[in-house]
Amino acid sequence: LEASVRSDADVKAIAGFKKARKLRLFISKKLITLDNLDLLTDKKDLEELMISARINSTKGLHSLKKLRKLWFKSKISEIEDMHGLDSLEEIQLSAASIEDISGLSAVTTVRKIYCNSSWGCYVGKLGGLENMKNLEVIDLPGAGISKLEGLDKGLKKLRVINLDNNNISKLEGLDNL
């Protein structure tokens, strides 16, 4: 199911898609910014979600218990309220801009995180991922990262880390990988 949103009325109309398993939410007007994602709280069967909209907060995602894949194609002010997403395995940040992804640490089931500068992705700080005990792949080339934090704690399953074309001047804190 694809929902193209052009007005605030269209955002409210999404409430009718309760049984959707896959949802692509495109908000085309630059004037519309979602304060949070509470409009998705009743989408209990949602397994895949792609959001292309400016978002102030990811608050409201916690109720999506079956969500396996999550794509953000937007500017996100704050990642929060991610606890309880026990089926989430993959997060893609394409065309996303966020200073701090540590809010993702509440999701311990995530196996893969992708963000690529060729997709327009920017992550200012890589840290706070130590609780993501199932994380296998961190693929963040050219994401604007200058310092690594928290990668040496608890990431026992990490197999691939791609930080090519970032501004990391010194590799430290990787002793336990």
Quickly state the pLDDT bin for 22 (edges 50, 70, 90): confident
> Mean pLDDT across the chain, nearest whole number?
80
Reading the block at residue 132, the tokens are 């993501």
Contact by Cβ (8 Å): 88, 113: no
Report phi then psi at 24, rounded to 5. -115, 115
**pLDDT tens digit sequence for 68-115:** 999 888 777 778 878 889 999 999 987 777 777 878 888 889 999 988
φ, ψ dihedrals at 106, nearest 5°:
-70, -15
Strands (E), the chain: 2-5, 22-27, 33-34, 48-52, 54-57, 69-72, 76-78, 90-93, 97-100, 112-115, 122-125, 137-139, 160-162
**What per-residue confidence (pLDDT) applies to 31?**
52
Residue 112 has a pLDDT of 95
Contacts of 1 (CB under 8 A, 6+ apart): 17, 20, 22, 23, 24
As given in the structure block, the two tokens for residue 59 are 């608050």
pLDDT single digits (tens) 142-155: 888 887 776 777 78
Would you call 17 helix, strand, or coil by DSSP? Answer: coil
